[in-house]
Chains A and B, each alone.
Chain A
């Protein structure tokens, strides 16, 4: 497998706080990685840097051959549009756009919009009958499924999910995890931040952070692709 993410001696400081303190790691294409650790351990900071939402203080963060630290504002925008799909804990949908338009928004910033593709993405996440609904008319689980459809629409190289089930009830958590499992099975590379050990177990590999450092520098490889053994719904 090819290396899609390469992090070398990554540091991020917020004033006197060292959010990341010399993190190094690699991710192979098609892997599902669970990034775990207590609050303030640097999980979100790490995926924000990998997603081009933040820049490191020092070190390298290379995603699909692009060193994120070297990109300017416009370069970061293009990088995010072309290579990254985000799924956030808070869903972050535009409240005055319908489910379909929220998905098309990602297309718009990537290149050109294709309504039929956006519809197909929503159908894929089981929202064929909720396409024209506003976020306020959707349940939390449905909103997160719209966010997953939006993250997928531009065929990103890397899907970054920050606590994707953190705001969902058990039933909706299952639905979203099922979607992530399917995406992984199709070969997508997923980096998922989670607090929940049970969810972390679904990943191929777990990276534990503590105080901005890898808790186990050798990381924790798993022997197999766990998503393969999770029954589909």
Chain B
């Protein structure tokens, strides 16, 4: 009879309950979308921050003996790179050793970066390129040129560029022009071994850049592990990138949490208003039920079960809508689909049942109804 009564009560008050259901469903949709983002935002944001470029740099210690501004201390390529590669981490997106020299091109000084050219697009995905990337690490015939340097040297993709350094020279075909939006726009990127030969520094590098995805904590753990493996070198995070990621993540989480609380409150208020009206309408029913011997707990239990069903139904429908909303937001904000998080369903439904029950507070006042007063028609 409990189920039968419940069903009839839901049907009998469907107009007013529909209003509350819309409120609960809307609230649940936005909350489940936000919770989905909340759970996925760490992964998405860290992915976003990885696009800002390398976030870990390995370099000689600044206090190393013999280090001067004009004669920086260099590192042994084989030793350092081998150590890095011996510490594999699934979060490492790209690794590239660099050797910088200031060469001349047509009597114009230009910074030449010798590196693994195939790693550049992964190391900094935001770079724009006119022409072609160089996909082979061993390609010693071609180079990439920053757009400012290209303008100064009047070169375009397909042009030839000759670099001179202390009486040695190297000639490259320009495969592409890079637009990096930073100091890289002034540089020429060429095969590492070719630049080492040009500079007469075979097997020497200035630093290694690593792009690592993951949370600030996991990046920190990676850095600590690498530091232990490279005691003579400095392994440091690029603070601007890593800390900005952590701060933004914290602020985003706080914002989402605040919005969830606000929506829960608004939903509860909407349910409260509807239930207050419903409670007034139901005074006669409650008075009669009490006259028939219904205990307060049994009568209020019926109404709370009704509200619980309202919350669960609204929560479930809203959750499904929220997943779709989260996917849409993921595409719009992050340019990628937000993964479906199954834990959102029970969490959202539980939240909406809780909110609906809190909003049903006026129904609890029905326990005070005096049947004699109601049955007199007052």
Contacts and interface: CB of A to CB of B under 8 A. Distances in A.
23 contacts: A53-B371, A53-B372, A74-B296, A77-B290, A77-B295, A78-B293, A80-B292, A81-B293, A86-B292, A90-B375, A92-B288, A94-B285, A96-B8, A96-B12, A97-B5, A101-B5, A101-B8, A104-B4, A105-B289, A106-B292, A106-B293, A109-B294, A109-B298
Q: Give the interface residue-count category, chain A.
A: 20 to 34
Chain B contact residues: helix, strand, loop or mixed = helix
B293 A110 contact: yes
Interface string A96-120: 1100010011111110010000000
A44, A80, A104, most chain B CB atoms within 10 A: A80
Given A92-B375, A94-B289, 19 more contacts: A54-B370, A74-B295, A74-B296, A77-B296, A80-B292, A90-B375, A92-B284, A94-B285, A94-B288, A96-B9, A96-B11, A96-B12, A97-B8, A104-B1, A104-B4, A105-B5, A105-B289, A108-B2, A109-B293
B285 A107 contact: no
A80 B295 CA distance: 10
A18 to B, nearest CB: 17
Nearest to B302: A108
B154 interface: no
B1 A113 contact: yes
B296 A80 contact: no
Residue with the greatest number of chain B CB neighbours at <10 A, chosen from A73, A78, A92:
A92
A101 B4 contact: yes
Interface in B69-88: none
Nearest to B298: A109
B372 A81 contact: no
Interface in B1-33: 1-2, 4-5, 8-9, 11-13
B293 A80 contact: yes
A24 interface: no
Given A77-B293, A96-B8, A96-B9, A90 B377 contact: yes
B376 A86 contact: no
Interface in A60-107: 73-74, 77-82, 84, 86, 88, 90, 92, 94-97, 101, 104-107
Contacts of B13: 96
B291 interface: yes
Contacts of A113: 1
A221 B189 CA distance: 120
A48 interface: yes
A145 interface: no
A205 interface: no
A13 to B, nearest CB: 14
A108 B290 contact: no
B294 A77 contact: yes
A150 interface: yes
B1 A53 contact: no
B5 A53 contact: no
